[in-house]
Amino acid sequence: MTDQDTHEVIALLRAVAQAEIMPRFRRLGLEDVRTKSGPLDPVTVADEAAERALTAGFKKLFPGDDVLGEEAASADPELLQRLARPGRVWVIDPIDGTANYAAELPLFGVMAALVEADKVLASFIHDPLGDDTAVALAGGGAWTVARDGTRRRLKVAAPVPVGEMVGSLSWRYFTEPRRSRVLSRLDRLASVTDYRCAAHQYRMLAGGHSHVQMFGKLMPWDHAAGVLLHQEAGGYGRHFDGSPYTPSNFYGGLLLTPDEASWHAFDEAILR
């Protein structure tokens, strides 16, 4: 992507957040929120409006690229097969942290990742409230872009022993015996959090404000942008079997740490 492309994507995310997301924040009615797969999987009219606007915007900016949105794929899971086909596709999450958004909590983000041949080429995580965007380009580093265009490089935290690690661990989709094993070992860490928002958890991780993240279920709109951001900020992430992250692997688990030694230390202390 060129610098101009990057600026235009940031401008698109900002514009959609300002037009479709923020005006509805803390103004949703009961009829504006429904559930998809279950009570822990909400969607709002703001998610749907933002996805429509983002889809149209990306198709206008990059006419040759496809767009895969969370809400479209939730309605038609066959769309996920697009990740395995040739060509570039933008994977978008119009509001990551919808449960927070619907609960009127100011912790949500807009995520977009450019994927080709099952590899993430670029990532953008926009904070509508802070009005800044975390950006990463494959091989080009990671940084935040403030509203005035000021850039600040992102760098992961320095490695620490497992007992000093702070992080967010999502165990909801783990199967037994891993689920019970992980839950029984959480006291081996310094602190465990869950902000119900991968967008901000990835930004924290890439910015050096936490050490570790772990996930069981890996829908691409939740993780493609964040994994590249973490990687380009100097971090090390792998599926539970040690293989590199791929957007088409939805259930391979994911562990992200500051470096490879930390990954193996955490794996030994918590996962195995």
- What mean pLDDT comes out for the span 193-213? 97
Domain that holds residue 254: 162-271
Residues 128 and 203 in one domain: no
**Domain at 191, CATH number:** 3.40.190.80
Helix (H) or strand (E) holding 98: helix 98-102
SS3 of residue 198 by DSSP: helix
**Domain at 105, CATH number:** 3.30.540.10
Using alpha carbons, list the distances in angstroms from residue 145 to 11, 125, 136, 152, 255.
Answer: 11, 10, 11, 7, 26
Asked if 76 and 83 touch (Cβ cutoff 8 Å), the reply is no
Dihedral pair phi/psi, residue 40, rounded to 5°: -95, 10
Torsion sign, CA atoms 204, 271, 74, 87: positive
Give me the pLDDT at residue 84, please: 82
- What mean pLDDT comes out for the span 222-243? 98
Residues 166 and 139 in one domain: no
Give me the pLDDT at residue 39, please: 81
Report helix angle 220-232 to 198-206, nearest 10.
10
- What mean pLDDT comes out for the span 171-192? 93
CA atoms of 268 and 242, how far apart (whole Å):
13
Residues 128 and 179 in one domain: no
- pLDDT tens for each residue of 23-73: 999 999 999 999 988 888 899 999 999 999 999 999 999 999 999 999 999
Residues 180 and 49 in one domain: no
- Burial zone of 80 (CB within 10 Å; 0-12 exposed, 13-18 middle, 19+ buried): middle
Residues 34 and 143 in one domain: yes
SS3 of residue 181 by DSSP: helix
Torsion sign, CA atoms 245, 79, 76, 93: positive
Give residue 12's region: left, alpha or beta (phi > 0; psi -120 to 50).
Answer: alpha
Q: Which of 111, 126, 153 is the last residue of a domain?
A: 153
Give me the pLDDT at residue 171, please: 86
- pLDDT tens for each residue of 68-122: 999 999 999 999 999 988 999 999 999 999 999 999 999 999 999 999 999 999 9
Residues 220 and 181 in one domain: yes
Residues 145 and 10 in one domain: yes
Which of 40-44, 94-98, 204-208, 260-264 is the least confident region?
A: 40-44
User: Is the pTM above the cut of 0.85?
Assistant: yes
Residue type, 164: E
- pLDDT tens for each residue of 138-180: 999 999 999 999 999 999 999 999 999 999 998 888 999 999 9
Asked if 203 and 195 touch (Cβ cutoff 8 Å), the reply is no
Asked if 237 and 245 touch (Cβ cutoff 8 Å), the reply is yes
Residues 77 and 114 in one domain: yes
- In the chain, how many domains are there? 2
Q: Which of 153, 173, 196 is the last residue of a domain?
A: 153
Give me the pLDDT at residue 172, please: 85
Helix (H) or strand (E) holding 206: helix 198-206
